[in-house]
Amino acid sequence: MEKLTPEDYLNGQILLIDKPLKWSSFQAVNKLKYALINKLGLPKKFKIGHAGTLDPLATGLLLVCTGKFTKRISELQGQAKEYTGTFFIGATTPSYDLETEVDETFSTAHIDDALIHETVKQFLGEIDQKPPIYSAIKKDGVRLYEHARAGETVAIAFRKTTIHEFEITRIALPEIDFRVVCSKGTYIRSLAYDFGKAMQSGSHLTALRRTKIGDYNVIDAQDVILFEEKLEIN
C-alpha cells in the first residue's frame, strides 16, 4: 500500500475497499475513519464517506472518499455498477435475500436453460423496478425496513432503472449464477424476485458481490483490516 500522509487524506483520496460479508457499509467507513484518526492523527471531524451502499449480505467494491474528495461522492454514485451473484430459484423470502426466511415455494419443473436465457431478455434496457420492503429508502420519514420489521404494509412506488448487461454464467438449478451491469439505484434483490416471477416461479438472492463501479475494479481493492494494520502510527 502506498504510504500517504495525513495531508494526502485531507486533500482527498478515493480508497477502494473490499467490503467483508456481514459488515454494513457504515461499519466499513467507520473502521477506516477511526484507523486514520488513531494512527495518523487526523482530526475527529475530518470528512469521509462512501459512494454507494452495499447490503451487509453483499461483499465487494466500496469506494470511500476522504477529505476534499467527499465532494465527488455524487459523481461516483452515478456511475454504472457491475455485480456477480446467485439466484435461488423456486422460493421467495420477504427481503428477497437471505436476511429473512423462505415464505413461499414454487415449482421449477417447467424451467430449463432456454426459458432462463429467454427471460433474461425481458430485463435488458430500462425497466420498472420496485425496491424491496427491506431497504433503507424512506417512506413518510421512516426507512422501509423499519416498517417491514414492525409488520406494517406500505405502498412502494416503482422506479425506473437500467440494466445494461445481464449474463447467466452458471445454471445448476435451483441455483443460477449471473453477472449484471446496471445503473444507479438498481436493486439486485428486486431483480432476483422479478426474475423468478417472470418464469412463473419464485426466486431470491443468495450471494452478491459488487465487482466494478465505473472504471474502478474490486481486483484493486483492499481488505479493511489489512488497510488498518498497514497504516503507520504517527
Query: Nine-digit cell at 203?
Result: 426466486
CA atoms within 13 A on the CB side of 141: 0
- Catalytic residue, chosen from 55, 112, 113, 177, is 55
3-class SS letters over the chain? CCCCCHHHHHHCEEEEEEECCCCCHHHHHHHHHHHHHHHHCCCCCCCEEECCCCCCCCEEEEEEEEHHHHHHHHHHHCCCEEEEEEEEECEECCCCCCCCCCCEECCCCCCCHHHHHHHHHHHCEEEEECCCCCCCCEECCEEHHHHHHCCCCCCCCCEEEEEEEEEEEEEECCEEEEEEEECCCCCHHHHHHHHHHHCCCCEEEEEEEEEEECCEEHHHCEEHHHHHHHCCCC
Q: Report d(CA 199, CA 193) in Å as an integer.
A: 10
Query: Is 97 noted as a catalytic residue in this protein?
Result: no
Q: Report d(CA 102, CA 11) in Å as an integer.
A: 48
Residue numbers annotated as active site: 55
